[in-house]
Amino acid sequence: MIWDCHVHAAGTESAKDLLAEMDERGIDRMCLFGPYRGDSVEAQRESTDFIAALQAEAPDRLFGLAWLEPALPGAADEVERAIADKGLRGIKMIPNHWYPTDDLLVPVYERVQQLGVPIQFHSGILYGMQDSSRFCQPVYFEALVHFPKVRFSLAHISWPWCDECIAVFGRFRANVRGRDDEAQMWIDTTRGTPPEWRLDALRKAVAFGCTNRMLFGSDAHPGNLAYAAEHIRLDIELLRDEIGLDEAALERYFWGNCAEFYGVPD
């Protein structure tokens, strides 16, 4: 079973085409982010509504996430609307000229914590949003330590700050007395890591005991899920043939860890 935790919708997709493409590429379930519409409250609502309508067509296979811009007014209320009213599964955010430590995030974290859904953050160098990369360094996400019931993932193993990402995982593991399977942080291994770095990053994450907290993701777009299929193949090569993960660990990587992250039956 394959669960791709990191797919971007453009806002033009049809569920019928998407499901057919998933079948063709061997993807059983995906987390699908609404398009970024951080310019206005209204546009962001439209993005959320679009992804909710798509999810409603196949709620078992499409886990919709609202892409939230927390600097917009009423962000915490939009979280509530997206999750409680629209039934979306989680929140996606990219630190766009705000730090995860900023006060404006507090009401958002509190609302997410009440609602019990995960947050998928971008982390690492950012090829967009002007000069926002500095806001996406993994250590700033340590702020989530104040919201211990919020489950969150950092994408791209935070490349190029992979070591820092893994160290931050260690910090959250320490918070639950060293039990990696109780830690609130997950590592979304979606690429970003170029091929020359990826084996090293994955090997270190496994060596540090993150295996049960690593999620497969592709950063693919509907219409180009061939890209996801190619990275499934490459990750199996790295994790099984180079690093030596067994079948059970691979199943967790491609499915079980995500099921746990989302709190749904395996």
In the complex, what is the shortest distance from the CB of residue 219 to Zn ion, in angstroms, rounded to a whole number?
A: 4
In the complex, what is the shortest distance from the CB of residue 35 to Zn ion, in angstroms, rounded to a whole number?
A: 12
How far, in Å, CA of 30 to CA of 168, rounded? 26
Cβ–Cβ under 8 Å, residues 66 and 91:
yes
How far, in Å, CA of 54 to CA of 47, rounded? 11
Footprint of Zn ion on residues 71-130 (CB under 5 A)?
A: none
Cβ–Cβ under 8 Å, residues 122 and 135:
no
In the complex, what is the shortest distance from the CB of residue 10 to Zn ion, in angstroms, rounded to a whole number?
A: 13
Cβ–Cβ under 8 Å, residues 153 and 187:
yes
Size of the site for Zn ion (CB under 5 A): 1
Specify the residue, 111 or 120, whose C-beta has the smaller distance to Zn ion: 120
Specify the residue, 69 or 219, whose C-beta has the smaller distance to Zn ion: 219
Specify the residue, 13 or 219, whose C-beta has the smaller distance to Zn ion: 219
The pairing of beta strand 185-188 with beta strand 29-33? unpaired
In the complex, what is the shortest distance from the CB of residue 125 to Zn ion, in angstroms, rounded to a whole number?
A: 12
Helical (H) or strand (E) element with 54: helix 41-57
Cβ–Cβ under 8 Å, residues 222 and 9:
yes
In the complex, what is the shortest distance from the CB of residue 170 to Zn ion, in angstroms, rounded to a whole number?
A: 24
In the complex, what is the shortest distance from the CB of residue 191 to Zn ion, in angstroms, rounded to a whole number?
A: 9
Question: By beta-carbon distance, which residue lies closest to Zn ion?
Answer: 219
Footprint of Zn ion on residues 197-256 (CB under 5 A)?
A: 219
Specify the residue, 176 or 224, whose C-beta has the smaller distance to Zn ion: 224
How far, in Å, CA of 217 to CA of 215, rounded? 6
For residue 259, how far is the Cα from the chain centroid?
Answer: 13
Specify the residue, 36 or 147, whose C-beta has the smaller distance to Zn ion: 36
Q: Rounded to 5 degrees, what angle do the CA atoms 169, 174, 90 make?
A: 45
Specify the residue, 78 or 219, whose C-beta has the smaller distance to Zn ion: 219
Binding site for Zn ion (CB under 5 A): 219
